[in-house]
Chain A
Amino acid sequence: FLVGSGAIGCERLKNWAMMGIASGPNGVIHITDMDTIEKSNLNRQFLFRPSDVGKLKSDTAAAAVVKMNPDLQGKIVTHQDRVGAETECIYNDGFFEGIDAVTNALDNVDARRYMDSRCVYHRKPLLESGTLGTKGNTQVVVPFLTESYSASRDPPEKSIPMCTLKNFPNAIEHTIQWARDLFAGFFVQPAENVNAYLSTPDYVNTSMGQTNENVKIETLTTIRDYLVTDKPLTFEDCIVWARKNFENIYNNAIQQLLFNFPEDSTTSSGQLFWSPPKRAPTAIAFDPSSDLHVDFIVAAANLHAFNYGLKGSHDREHIRDAATAVRIPKFEPKSGVKIQVNENDNAAESGNNGTDPSQLEALEASLPNPASYAGVRLIPANFEKDDDTNFHIDFITAASNLRASNYGITAADRFRTKQIAGKIIPAIATTTSLVTGLICLELYKIIGSGLGDNKRKIDDYKNGFINLALPFFGFSEPIEPAKYKYNGIEASEWDAIMIDRDVTLQELIDYFTNEHKLELSMVSSGVTLLYSPFLNRAKSEARKSMKISQLLPEVTKKDIEPYVKWVALSVCCCDADDEDVDVPDVRIKIRN
């Protein structure tokens, strides 16, 4: 099963074609990738041609590789699924029973962890690899022999503190992230909220029932503004909207900030408030002769128009003139506005202290009846960094650089902004093909891994770490899984207690008592508690006599999907001394 058909996927398939993987009569290769081919893929996803741009990756790759080894004709099954909980119906027990190994060719950690958990569950070998420019790594996961991929974690990425983002940026990365968030706050969330309001019956109570008052007020205010008060009817209105927001963000908000914290203000310890790393900002007045200022208006107006399905415009001169003509009321900073300075302070920016139920009611009342807007929908922008005509990167670049000029930070050009905002990872064909070569060599070891005396030892396998820039090539043996004991039996994350018939809860309890001298105290399936010490006697007794295949639907109120053959249960046990004992998951076979 090849998960992903991009750079690593293409190289993998080519190698498999030459190795003869799955070319025999019963061979099969499953490939899944939900993406279509883009121009920027072509510098390393070599099975794709310029004429393939727009086509599905999995199909195109499969076709290209059949040409290399015609024995693969009819042996490759292509899918367009994203692997995850939603596709577990497709990649179910039956699917995994029919494959020998999984190789990842993914571009994100979450999907890798997910596939790893599936492979651990189904006891299938997993070959994992990744590249980052000239750096690459490979990892072999063999059931019962090595630890799983998820057993070790990279340290989490440093995230930018909220206050830095909101009010105290000091590097271009901060303003770019801020601009990215602004993009969502202007062109994505409001449209989504409006659409939800218009399409969900009794929106206020159902969708928003759980959220706190302040958030409710903010969301409803946005909906009201976007749907009624500030709704643009023409592109000209969008220009006005953009100009007004320019004023709010780059002039007014800065003035307010400086009002609260003047340049020479000091902290309680006597130091200057605006000392490094904080940078004191200056407000910006709209200047039609500045390309940067006009860039912002052009991008913002067009994106706003996009939300409403209005036709945009590239006429810079006209937009510039229209923006200059907008009347802007003079701004006076207000006192009593709270601005959060440290991460741990109470946040309360909009001067909205305490919840006032009547305010919420008034807001609700001011919203129009969704029925009167039947068929009306806004179009949220779907952030797409590689389309140069959609204004997304243009907006983020302008917004970020304007903020940078507020704070005296060196601007970044469009190229660099796109890389940071789009989290682009530079990629080349050399690292990719090398890493894939290493993985395929490991695949030989897995396939050739005999049983008994011929069985491969852990040090036969090699994990690789390379950096072609230095160059550096490092190899190490995989690590054994962490082990624990229960009732004298050694177990690891790979082990499970397999019960091959549909037993009753009582039989399960007895099994633990008799076989392992352990008392079963809790049984759960996923997030559903099936049996616990807190259950009342009557329920407890009733459940004990039920078979697992009946008990599960009874408690979850949902039938077990027809493709599920084994039910996995997590159990808690304690021994004769009432000490908790770790035991492996239990698997109950309910269907053949």
Chain B
Amino acid sequence: MSSENNNNNNTATNGISKEEVALYDRQIRLWGMEAQARLRQSSIKVIGVKALTLEVCKNLVLAGLGSITIQDSTPINEIDFETQYYFHEADLGQPKDVVLAERLRILNPLVNIQTGEGRSEDTTYDLVVKIGTGIGGDSLEVNGKCRKRGERFIAADSFGLFGYIFIDCLDAHEYIEEEKPKDDNAVVKRISLTASYKPLADSLTSKPGVANLNRLVRKFPPLVFVCQTLSTISQLEDIKSAEVLAEAVRRSIEGRGIPDGVVDDVLFGRVVQSLGTEFVPCASVVGGTLAQEILKVITRKDMPMNNWYTYDAIKADAITCQL
């Protein structure tokens, strides 16, 4: 890796203190000082607290994000202790976001952690991440608001042995790619590129354009169509059975040129069984992936996934595709 700093004195370049360089040493060696500095300046909002949120926030706080605002005032209940490892007996009944913020501050005091609705309507976040179903309304609405304010948006969830991530980095996302030099002595080449992302509303009505079922599932895992539907639901209780889910999915793929049998009943059954449950190992897999994508979005280094990721732990399938 080329080194992007030339001195390590007390108030080093980019305003990063010597303390921070020592703390973040191992990751600065991976993505460079500039990316670390960008990280420090960034502010993101996370809506919805569940195991996946803990994993993502832990990873981001450790990395030295500038500020995180967590929104979810649901009181902590007994079942949360089973998977949300920062909550303990004494926290019963407390609002999730407040307690999580407290625990994360201890993890890295350099990160500014806020709770609730966040700052005033005037503030814009670098990124808004909506996790799970049920908090903060539905993803379409949130994405719509973000678009109006020029905020990037991610919707994600980890439930049972499944997970998904949807990324919208707006119409013109600029980022840098580094080309590894053939000669070790040469300077690393930085290429500036731009990528365009769809809002969720467009993605939900997009046409994959592949009529043949076999060819379709090779490019698009059937799970992604289920997750697209799930991302629009505002209350989990609305999905009472596999049949209800199947009907909702059928409605959402109507008119998009997608063959009817793309999602089989077995998958519907497995998904419904998983809804409302959490497995920490699955959350770790999705959380690690999601946190890395968030880092890409913020540091403007490498292209964030464009635009869907789904994970099926039983089949060991982690697949990205574009809808």
Show the binding face of A for B, using Cβ within 8 Å: 11, 14-15, 17-19, 39-40, 42-44, 46, 49-50, 67-70, 133-134, 171-173, 409-410, 412-416, 419, 424-441, 444, 462, 464, 466, 468-469, 471, 473, 475
Contact = CB atoms under 8 A, between A and B. Distances in A.
Q: Can you list the 3 inter-chain pairs with the closest CB atoms, starting with the nearest?
A: A437-B284, A434-B288, A473-B318
Contact of A424 (B3, B24, B29, B83): B29
Contacts of A435: 288
A435 to B, nearest CB: 8
Given A18-B83, A67-B88, A46 B316 contact: no
Contact of A437 (B83, B288, B305): B288
Contacts of B302: 469
A43 B23 contact: yes
26 contacts: A14-B85, A14-B280, A18-B82, A18-B83, A19-B280, A40-B23, A49-B107, A134-B292, A171-B184, A412-B3, A413-B6, A416-B3, A426-B27, A427-B26, A427-B27, A429-B58, A429-B59, A430-B63, A431-B288, A433-B55, A434-B284, A435-B288, A437-B288, A440-B284, A473-B319, A475-B316
Contacts of A172: 184-185
Contacts of B25: 40, 43
Contacts of B185: 171-172, 409-410
B289 A434 contact: yes
Contacts of B24: 43
A407 to B, nearest CB: 12
Given A44-B27, A437-B283, A441-B313, 6 more contacts: A46-B107, A172-B185, A429-B288, A430-B288, A431-B292, A471-B289
Nearest to B184: A171
A450 B220 CA distance: 34
Given A44-B62, A471-B292, A462 B284 contact: no
B320 interface: yes
A357 B302 CA distance: 66
A134 to B, nearest CB: 7
Contact of B291 (A46, A415, A430, A439): A430
A419 B63 contact: no
B22 interface: yes
B291 A429 contact: yes
A134 B296 CA distance: 12
B284 A471 contact: no
A480 B5 CA distance: 48
A317 B215 CA distance: 74
B295 interface: yes
Contacts of A43: 23-27, 62-64
Contacts of A425: 26
A416 B313 CA distance: 39
Interface string B261-300: 0000000000000000000111111111101110100000
B2 to A, nearest CB: 8
Contacts of A469: 292, 302
| Chain A binding surface SS class | helix
A433 B286 CA distance: 9
Contacts of A15: 280-281, 284
B151 to A, nearest CB: 22
A18 B285 CA distance: 15
A428 B284 contact: no
Q: Which of A49, A173, A413, A433 has the most CB of B within 10 A?
A: A433
B106 interface: yes
Contact of A438 (B23, B30, B285): B285
B8 A415 contact: yes
B288 A468 contact: yes
Contacts of A468: 288-289, 292
A437 B5 CA distance: 34
B131 to A, nearest CB: 16
A471 B288 contact: no
Nearest to B301: A469
Contact of B3 (A19, A134, A415, A431): A415
A46 B58 contact: yes
B13 to A, nearest CB: 11
Contact of A426 (B1, B88, B317): B1
Contacts of A426: 1, 26-27, 29-30
Among A50, A173, A435, A468, the one with the most B-chain Cβ atoms within 10 Å of its Cβ is A468
A440 B281 contact: yes
Nearest to B303: A470
B97 to A, nearest CB: 19
Contacts of B316: 462, 464, 475
Contacts of A433: 55, 58-59, 284, 287-288, 291
A40 B108 CA distance: 13
Nearest to A437: B284
A415 B108 CA distance: 24
Nearest to A410: B185
Contact of B292 (A14, A17, A69, A430): A430
B62 A133 contact: no
Interface in B3-27: 3, 5-8, 22-27
A414 B26 contact: no
Contacts of A19: 280-281
Nearest to B161: A441
A416 to B, nearest CB: 5
Contact of A414 (B8, B62, B184): B8
A413 B107 contact: no
